[in-house]
A and B are shown apart, each in its own frame.
Chain A
Amino acid sequence: MSIPPFEQLSNLDRLVHEPARLSILTALSVCESAEFMFLQSLTGLTRGNLNTHLTTLEQAGLVSAEKGFRGRVPQTTVRITEKGREAVEQHWARLRTLQKAARAWKPGKGRTKTEEP
Chain B
Amino acid sequence: MSDPARVRYLVEHYAQLQGLRLVPLGLVFVAVACWHDRQLGWLPGSADGGIRQWFLGALAVAVLASYAIGAYYRRLFGELTLPANHAAGPRLLATAVVVFVCMVLQEAYRWPVSLPLVVVGIVLARIGVVEGRLRGHYLGIAIACLFMANITSFGVPPQTAQVMFDLLVGGGLLVAGIGDHLVLLRMLRPPGHERYVDSPV
The residue that A56 contacts in the complex, of B10, B188, B201, with Cβ under 8 A, is B201
Interface range on chain A (Cβ under 8 Å from partner):
20 to 34
Q: Are B83 and A41 closer than 8 Å at their CB atoms?
A: no
The residue that A42 contacts in the complex, of B12, B83, B188, B196, with Cβ under 8 A, is B188
A-side contacts of B83, CB under 8 Å: 31-32
- Quick one: given A19-B2, A19-B199, A44-B196, are A38 and B80 in contact (CB under 8 Å)? yes
Q: Does A64 contact B (CB under 8 A)?
A: no
A-side contacts of B198, CB under 8 Å: 45-46, 48-49
A-B pairs with beta carbons under 8 A, tally: 92
The residue that B78 contacts in the complex, of A20, A30, A35, with Cβ under 8 A, is A35
Name the distance in Å between B13's Cβ and chain A's nearest Cβ. 10
A-side contacts of B82, CB under 8 Å: 30-32
Interface range on chain B (Cβ under 8 Å from partner):
20 to 34
For residues 41 through 81 of chain A, which have their beta carbon under 8 Å from a beta carbon of chain B?
A: 41-49, 52-53, 56
Q: Does A22 contact B (CB under 8 A)?
A: yes
The closest CB in chain A to the CB of B5 belongs to A26
For residues 177 through 198 of chain B, which have their beta carbon under 8 Å from a beta carbon of chain A?
A: 187-191, 193-196, 198
The residue that A45 contacts in the complex, of B11, B12, B199, with Cβ under 8 A, is B199
Q: Does B159 contact A (CB under 8 A)?
A: no
A32 to B10, CA, bound (A): 14
A56 to B79, CA, bound (A): 22
Q: Are A34 and B78 closer than 8 Å at their CB atoms?
A: yes
Q: Are A38 and B81 closer than 8 Å at their CB atoms?
A: no
- Quick one: given A42-B188, A45-B198, are A23 and B78 in contact (CB under 8 Å)? no
The closest CB in chain A to the CB of B9 belongs to A30
Q: Are B81 and A33 closer than 8 Å at their CB atoms?
A: yes
Name the distance in Å between B194's Cβ and chain A's nearest Cβ. 5
Question: Chain B interface mostly helix, strand, loop or mixed?
Answer: loop
Question: Chain A interface mostly helix, strand, loop or mixed?
Answer: helix
The closest CB in chain A to the CB of B80 belongs to A34
A45 to B192, CA, bound (A): 9
Q: Does B108 contact A (CB under 8 A)?
A: no
Q: Does B89 contact A (CB under 8 A)?
A: no
The closest CB in chain A to the CB of B191 belongs to A40
Q: Are B191 and A26 closer than 8 Å at their CB atoms?
A: no
Q: Are B191 and A37 closer than 8 Å at their CB atoms?
A: yes
A79 to B69, CA, bound (A): 26
Q: Are A44 and B7 closer than 8 Å at their CB atoms?
A: no
Known: A32-B82, A37-B78, A38-B14. 4 other contacts (CB 8 A): A22-B2, A31-B83, A34-B80, A45-B194
